[in-house]
Amino acid sequence: MDPGVIRKLDEVVVNRIAAGEIIQRPANALKEMIENSLDAKATSITITVKAGGLRSLQIQDNGTGIRREDLGIVCERFTTSKLQSFDDLSSISTYGFRGEALASISHVAHLTIVTKTKHEKCAYKACYEDGKLKGDIKPIAGNQGTQITVDELFYNVPMRKQALKTPNEEFQRISDVVSKYAVHNPHACFILKKFGETATIRTQAKTTVAHNIGAIYGAGIGKALVPIELRDEVMQLTVEGYVTNVNFSLKKGISLMFINHRAVECSALKKAIDAIYAVYLPKGSAPFVYLSLELNPQNVDVNVHPTKHEVHFLHEEEIVEKVKLLVERALLGGNAARSYTQALLPGATQPLDSSKVNESMVGGGDEKPRLDYKFVRTSHSEQKLEKFFNISGSGAGISAGGGDPMKEEPQDEVVEPKLTQPSPSRKKKVVKRETRLHSIHTLRQQVESDGDENLRKIFRELTYVGTIDREQVLIQYDTKMYLSKVQSIAEELFYQLLLFNFGNFERLTLSEPLDLKRLVHAGLDDPASGYTEEDGPADELADVIVQKLVSKAPVLREYYNLSIREDGCLESLPKLLDNYIPSLVFLPMYVIRLATDVEWEEEQECFRTFSRETAHFFSRIALTKPEKEYRWELEHVLYPAVRNYLIPPKEMAKNGSLLQLASLPELYRVFERC
């Protein structure tokens, strides 16, 4: 069989194929024309539709209009007033940039333009077919601006027309486009209507984004909006928008995303936001999200998709992560009603004493009868979450020999010794002394000044509900249920204990001293240390680390009861909490970081960085700890200390350490409606 002959396609065929990439359905054509109207500084845009835009699609604006002398080429491909050279694409800040919109429409429909500029005495009417002017340009009466009418869309591409949905479905797609641009451009008036009918969408000029969201998508969404805003000079990023709080959800989510004022789709950003809401919303429901990102035009590639619904930009991962954190903080800060609690678990016989609950939080004093849905469990002796997982808490908790063995063979040998706590008789002999070091007082003041009073109240009056896993627990405050992240809260607690109990620590003694050099070697073998052969011989590096720590031994022993002998053996660690012993699994990395990450030369930084590293070591929960021991330790040691000692920093309200899940009054309202 002979090969086929390659021929150059007729220009009309080429243009119709190209037009099919740009204009896939009436909504695409309308989007292009709306963007042209907005580029022309229009403040009033009226769209009239017949048969879903297939019979007729008309848009009229009051913008600057098109000059009479430009009407001859306005529908030819790659004609535009936005660009002069290819380099202009790197700084484009308008909607249109390739000059294909009107050309593409004219190749698949009958196109008519009526336009008038403010300097011309009358309007002009021109008709187009296949990108060329059809007939003469006629002067007619008209107002300033442009009216574009698209008749019989896809009349010459019957296969495309047959593939489209019903007129009602196509009109819905048109309505979606108009809704997006009406929300994003509150300075302009938008009107959408079917031919011969009243307006389906009507917004007023000079309103606000939030007002238009409520007007178009419903008052329910409008009332649930939480504003978000970000300015990042480093990333040259500005983010503005609204998301619905976690009390509101839709069966089908609504997502409006704009990058440099262009309606686009960003799958990475959408997935990140969906992942946030998946924690809060029931399965199968989704939020309303409106986001407007402004980036440096030089960092955005706008010319990557024929329909311009997709753009690429630099630092996408970093920007998506910043927006994700922004939405998380907005939900955390604006989510006063979303919470959950166990008021009376199965088996409870009567409501609890309401005097144990803060009356200011439930809106009533002693003289007012307490509503049923405001009775909450506040006693730790009541039933716990563990009952439903067949997990029995044990008061035995932590044994005197509660150290954890290393996983690797060399480390098994290193950590055979166990940490033991001081006897009760010795504890009585400890006399607390107050430090006079200015650096420690400064660090304590920083902790106190950065404390969040609302969070402090929550932690001070918390009730421990149950353990979810080694990273999360449930706690209750008043009628609200919270998800608490163990690691970050424990680390902050131990840091503060190291500062406020400075110089008064008892010691956790190792039954057998540990050779620091062997610990360092074990730590360097861990990939997490980042050590490579390029850093030098491991033996030499270990010697340097050991010498460093031995030289600092007097300070560590004096202030922290961390005892290192002159021969480089570790004898003890500070005791931060009764019945709490850190896991020796992480001891090798802790030793390395003491030498490399603590700022030993400056007093205040030395105490701060040492406390941070030690707090990090103490807060890490080893996977090798028995399940019962771990759960008992959290409930009876760690979280009681959190309740008594922790001054939660303001950052904790933003970083996800404490997430409000539900509230009893709100759940009661839901069940009332059922």
Whether 32 is in a domain gets the answer yes
Residue ending a domain, choose from 301, 330, 359: 330
How many whole angstroms separate alpha carbon 138 and alpha carbon 135? 9
What gap in Å lies between CA 477 and CA 302, rounded to an integer?
49
* pLDDT < 70 positions in the chain: 1, 4-5, 7-22, 78-99, 301-312, 333-418, 422-431, 622-624, 667-674
Assigned domain for 417 exists = no
Segment 513-566, tens digit of pLDDT = 999 999 988 888 888 777 777 778 888 898 999 999 999 999 999 999 999 999
Q: 240 with 133, same domain?
A: no
Are residues 641 and 498 part of one domain?
yes
**Residue holding tokens 């609302």?**
454
- Angstrom distances, CA of residue 289 to CA of 119, 226, 267, 364: 42, 10, 13, 36
Q: Which long-range contacts (CB under 8 A, 24 or more apart) does 216-220 make?
A: 216/179, 216/182, 216/183, 217/179, 217/254, 217/288, 220/248
If you count DSSP H runs as helices and E runs as strands, how many of each does the chain have, helices first?
A: 23, 23
Query: What pLDDT is stored for residue 581 in this prediction?
Result: 87
Strand partners, 254: 288
> From CA 478, how far away is CA 544, in angstroms rounded?
53
Q: Which of 296, 330, 364 is the last residue of a domain?
A: 330
Instruction: Let me know if residue 28 belongs to a domain.
Output: yes
Does any domain span residue 389?
no
Domain match, 229 and 300 both: yes
The pLDDT of residue 254: 94
Is residue 224 domain-resident?
A: yes
Q: 420 with 511: CB under 8 angstroms?
A: yes
pLDDT of 282: 86
* Residues β-bridged to residue 575: 506
At residue 247, the pLDDT reads 86
Range of the domain at 581: 434-662
- 4 part of a folded domain: no
Asked if 36 and 96 count as a contact pair (C-beta separation under 8 A), the reply is yes
Closest-CA residue to 573 (of 638, 513, 636): 513
Looking up residue 145, the CATH number of its domain turns out to be: 3.30.565.10
DSSP string, 99-164: S-HHHHHHHHSEEEEEEE-TTSSSEEEEEEETTEEEEEEEEE---SEEEEEEESTTTT-HHHHHHS
Residue 412 domain-assigned (yes or no):
no
Q: Are residues 198 and 221 in the same domain?
A: no
How much is the pLDDT for 210? 95
Q: Are 251 and 145 in a shared domain?
A: no
- How far apart are the C-alpha atoms of 338 and 658, rounded to whole Å? 13
Structural tokens at position 80: 């535009």
Q: What is the Cα 570 distance to its own chain's centre?
A: 43
The residue type found at 224 is A
- Phi, psi (5° rounding) for residue 44? -145, 120
Helix, strand, coil in percent for the chain, rounding step 5: 40, 20, 40
Considering its fold, how many domains does the chain have in total?
3
Residue 663's nearest CA partner among 222, 247, 223 is 247
d(CA 83, CA 198): 39
End-to-end CA distance of the chain: 72
Domain boundary among 330, 356, 383: 330
Note whether 526 and 565 are same-domain residues. yes
Same-domain pairing of 458 and 571 = yes
CA distance 302 to 310: 8
CATH assignment at residue 313? 3.30.230.10
- Is residue 290 a contact partner of residue 243, using CB atoms and an 8 Å limit? yes
pLDDT at res. 360: 35
Tell whether 588 and 633 lie within a shared domain. yes
The CA-based angle 265-270-274, given to 5 degrees, is 155
* Shared domain check, 234 and 161: no
* Nearest to 112, CA basis, from 81, 145, 77, 137: 137
- Largest Cα–Cα distance of the chain, in whole Å? 108
How far is the CA of 378 from the CAs of 480, 628, 638, in angstroms? Answer: 11, 23, 18
Residues 616 and 489 in one domain: yes
Residues 617 and 573 both lie in one domain: yes
Q: Please check whether residues 467 and 601 belong to one and the same domain.
A: yes
Is the residue at 646 inside a domain? yes
